[in-house]
Structure 1
């Protein structure tokens, strides 16, 4: 019985922790609450605009909910104003309906309601077709405000979870896939290298490159969950750490694709009947690629670890992997230099392989990461200072205008 309870509770926690399940539950509760509130305030017998609005604006993060709320309310108000203007001038006919739809879409584009452009036209059409125009327009705006207010308040009071762990798992998964590919390449260096086999590794590297888009989507969701979230005290630092970490891994993945391209060209040169490298170089290259793969995983663990002690352990593992990789890399360089003298025509491909490995090791270095973090923090601080400066100038302008009005009244 205890084992069954443990398994069931673990399944329920995974469901609740899933972004899709969390969104469905939150949207359902917010829509229901907004309908209950609208029944008490609106004159409509079935104020379904309120739950519809709440259903549309509730997102998995507070920041995205706030953005959606503003756009949704803006689109409804603009549509209502357009409908009132057309009904007062021309009334309802087929050509006035066409003009209303066209004007709503154009104005919606200019007021930047984004995905709610069609909502401007829908609101205008619904109001244009009513007999009691003023009452219906006010009720629709009121219900929209209720739905947006309840949805936003629900996400503020019951703050959505922070999706940093989900993004961290995606980043670590990308690093482990890259490491697995490097280990596969290393295992195949010991025997004859058919061109088809090398080309298959190139296609795997391209798929790995395409997987970055999925990781980037998870990271953007995590970044949004850190904005305006009362649970988070250092959201800016967490966002920058994750973003710069993904940028580094993205560069490494691109370099791995270039590396597989070089190995494919080398396999074509060997006609698939010989080893890509001599025996002594092969052994060293296998060890080198293993250390590079380990460094990739250690780097991903470092940028996604929140606890300082675990971060120190990950940093220690990364430092050890990089040091071992550089030592083996120097050995590989010496071996390749000796074989290049025996086979001068291979110097370009050998050199490109070494250059690509050097690029990955440089990107994963702690000094490079610290410098990039400082640059991003300085850029974010400068942007915040500029934003505050604009707000200060706006507040000063308002005080100046208010002071001028008071002086005119005294005169």
Structure 2
């Protein structure tokens, strides 16, 4: 039963992804477009080398074409160079081994360890596996003469050129949407965490609550990594892309300074949640701040959550409903609450003042990071 439930869940998820690819732009549609381009490139390569050129075994051309419709045009070009190199090495080494041994089996025994090891060289990237597979195909089909090897390399070259051309000229991929998606997700996760901490310090929190907040803050690093990866893919998609300036690209790419700002926000959140965790438990290393001081702390965090929430990307905001103005108001209220929190640092209990001073410092740095600047616009 568990197996069938899992199969049903996977089928439903696949069906939803297929529907999303048809209904709206997104990752699913990007995958669909690239898949159709790869299939079309393979068919075109097969037709040119098999039907027009009249080749008897036209395996290498469609193979190269379908493999080289990569996620970016730049990646197609780099992969083409890597693939052609490893295929040439595999074919030549297999041909030489066959000529030397006169036996297909002995040639495989000699060639495969060499080509498999050669394919692990990092310079070849994911294309390294083609060294050994090409050697197997050359030996299995008996295409070991230098004329046959040259024919196969020419097929590979034709397929590579077709794959690159299709990827570059037919809806060349440009990834801008992913950066916005990851920024919005990071903002939503940060705002949710700040609200959770604000609610927790208001009602009173324990070690389990604080550790959960700290784990959530650490997981924000995964969102930061995804954001950096998305920005890298976006920049790479601009390279060697002839259609970049012709395609409708949607909203402009956010400035890279925003990534650094979010990294600072996550850093201060991790420090704050670690400090709060150290004030509770069986043997806390810091004294819990006074309950009256936690009230303005909760207020600071709730207003900071409103300020860090993602801004809607709308062209003309409704009158009196400018999200940037609302964000500035939230920060102003957060600073007012922070002033009340800072006043508690002058308490006489030195242990409470120590822990409260750390909370004040981290929240102050957090608010400074969230302060309006060019990066946040």
CA contact (8 A) 2:42 2:66 kept: yes
Residue 262 (structure 1) aligned with residue 275 (structure 2): yes
Tell which deviates more after alignment, 210-219 or 349-358: 210-219
CA distance in 2, matches of 1:148, 1:45: 19
Task: Quote the Cα distance in structure 1 between the aligned partners of 2:148 and 2:54.
Answer: 9
| Gaps in structure 1 of 5+ consecutive residues | 1-7, 371-411
Q: Is the 8 A contact 2:190 2:220 kept in 1?
A: yes
Matches within 5 A, 1:39-58: 39-58=50-69
Change (3 A) 1:202 1:111: closer
Aligned with 2:355 (options 349, 355, 375): 349
Aligned mates of 1:231, 1:291 — CA distance in 2: 44
**Counterpart in the other structure of 2:345:** 337
Match of 1:119 among 126, 130, 141: 130
CA distance in 2, matches of 1:333, 1:307: 39
The one of 31, 37, 40 aligned to 1:26: 37
CA offsets 1:103-157 (integer angstroms, 9 cap, x no match): 3244445582111212112222322441552343123212211221111101111
CA contact (8 A) 2:72 2:236 kept: yes
1:190 paired with 2:202, answer: yes
Contact 1:159 1:230 in 2 (8 A): no
User: Which stretch shows the higher mean deviation, 258-267 or 126-135?
Assistant: 126-135
Unaligned runs of 5+ in 2: 1-17
Higher relative helix content: 1
Residues in 2 aligned to 1:157 and 1:197: alpha-carbon distance in whole angstroms: 54
Is residue 217 of structure 2 the alignment partner of residue 209 of structure 1?
Answer: no
Structure 2 CA distance for partners of 1:46 and 1:276, relative to 1, 3 Å: farther
**Compared with structure 1, are the counterparts of its residues 229 and 125 closer, same or farther at alpha carbon in structure 2 (3 Å cutoff)?**
same
Matched, 1:249 2:262: yes
> Residue 104 of structure 2 contacts residue 139 of structure 2 at CA under 8 Å; is this kept in 1?
no
Q: Distance in 2 between matches of 1:57 and 1:200?
A: 44
Give the Å deviation of 1:257: 2.2
Aligned residue for 1:386? Answer: none
Say how many residue pairs are matched.
Answer: 350
Distance 1:360 1:192, change over 3 A: closer
Is the 2:73–2:241 Cα contact (8 Å) retained in structure 1? yes
- CA deviations 1:178-221 (Å, max 9, x no partner) are 10110011112222322222222223223333343444443333
Name the CA distance, whole Å, in 1 between partners of 2:315 and 2:85.
42
Query: Comparing 187-196 with 212-221, which one deviates more in the overlay?
Result: 212-221
8 Å CA contact 1:42, 1:142 repeated in 2: no
Deviates more, 1:343-352 or 1:123-132: 123-132
Structure 1 SS opposite 2:202: coil
1:167/1:215 contact within 8 Å kept: yes
Partners of 1:62 and 1:227 within 8 A in 2:
yes
Output aligned runs, 1:103-182, within 5 Å.
Answer: 103-109=114-120, 112-129=123-140, 130=142, 133-182=145-194
Q: How large is the RMSD of aligned CA atoms in angstroms? A: 3.7
Alignment check: 8 A CA contact 1:42 1:139 kept: no
The TM-score with structure 2 as length reference comes to 0.78
Q: Matches of 1:86 and 1:113 in 2, distance apart?
A: 22
Partner of 1:380: none
Q: TM-score, normalised by structure 1?
A: 0.72
Asked if residue 361 in structure 1 is aligned to residue 372 in structure 2, the reply is: no
Alpha carbons 1:62, 1:159 under 8 Å: kept: no
Aligned partners of 1:76, 1:131: CA distance in 2, in Å? Answer: 14
Structure 1 counterpart SS, 2:281: helix
User: d(CA) in 2 for partners of 1:228 and 1:43?
Assistant: 32
Question: C-alpha separation between the residues in 1 aligned to 2:48 and 2:151?
Answer: 13
Moved more, 152-161 or 289-298: 289-298
Secondary structure in structure 2 of the residue aligned to 1:189: helix
Q: Is it true that 1:12 corresponds to 2:25 in the alignment?
A: no
**Post-superposition shift, 1:51?**
1.7
Is the Cα–Cα contact under 8 Å of residues 78 and 108 in structure 1 kept in the other structure?
no
Q: CA deviation at 1:42?
A: 4.6
2:112 equivalent to 1:101? yes
Question: Is 2:234 the counterpart of 1:226?
Answer: no
Closer, same or farther: CA 48–126 of 1 in aligned 2, 3 Å:
closer
Alpha-carbon separation, structure 2, partners of 1:78 and 1:212: 40
- 8 Å Cα contact 1:206/1:257 also seen in 2: yes
For the residues of structure 1 that align with 2:58 and 2:176, how far apart are their CA atoms?
37
